[in-house]
Amino acid sequence: MAEIEQHLIELEQRQVDAFNRGAIEEVLEHFDPALVGFSSTRHDRLHGLEALRRTFEYYLNQAHTVTYEITDPEVVVYGDVAIVTFYWVVNLTGPGKTRSVHGRGTHVYLNRRGAWKIVHEHFSRAHHAS
């Protein structure tokens, strides 16, 4: 795997790890402040980091324990732009039960002065059991 592709997959895993620690500020560092995207929690378009923060907080407030994971990431690089697609699952655990929400995600990265930042995110829930 090429160096850039591996680096972007590592960035994705760092986001997963930070989210699972509840380190939302650390997760947000991976995103450009002018982010535009779509969340799996609402139909509304996301604009900026505060909207993204609200999406993360929504999930974190849904259960006693929340874990996020990604699988099967693929990266395509177009010069200073890269697209990373993956499947995701959020596990929400409360007293006596766990609910899993499955979906797919896309991050569009832009490389500015050597730093890759996410400028677009699109998460959607799967409408079937995985």
Neighbours of 128 (CB within 10 A): 6
Task: Give the confidence band of 128 by pLDDT, cuts at 50, 70, 90.
Answer: low
CATH of domain 3-125: 3.10.450.50
Average pLDDT across the chain, whole number: 92
Q: What is the pTM of this model?
A: 0.91
Q: What's the mean pLDDT in 62-82?
A: 95
Domain boundaries along the sequence of the chain: 3-125
Cα dihedral: 129, 17, 96, 54 (round 10): -80
Structure tokens at 93: 């655990």
Q: What's the mean pLDDT in 30-45?
A: 86
Strand ranges in the chain using DSSP code E only, listed in sequence order: 31-38, 45-47, 65-78, 81-94, 97-112, 115-125
Q: Specify the range with the lowest mean pLDDT, choosing from 3-7, 56-60, 86-90.
A: 56-60
Task: Give the confidence band of 130 by pLDDT, cuts at 50, 70, 90.
Answer: very low
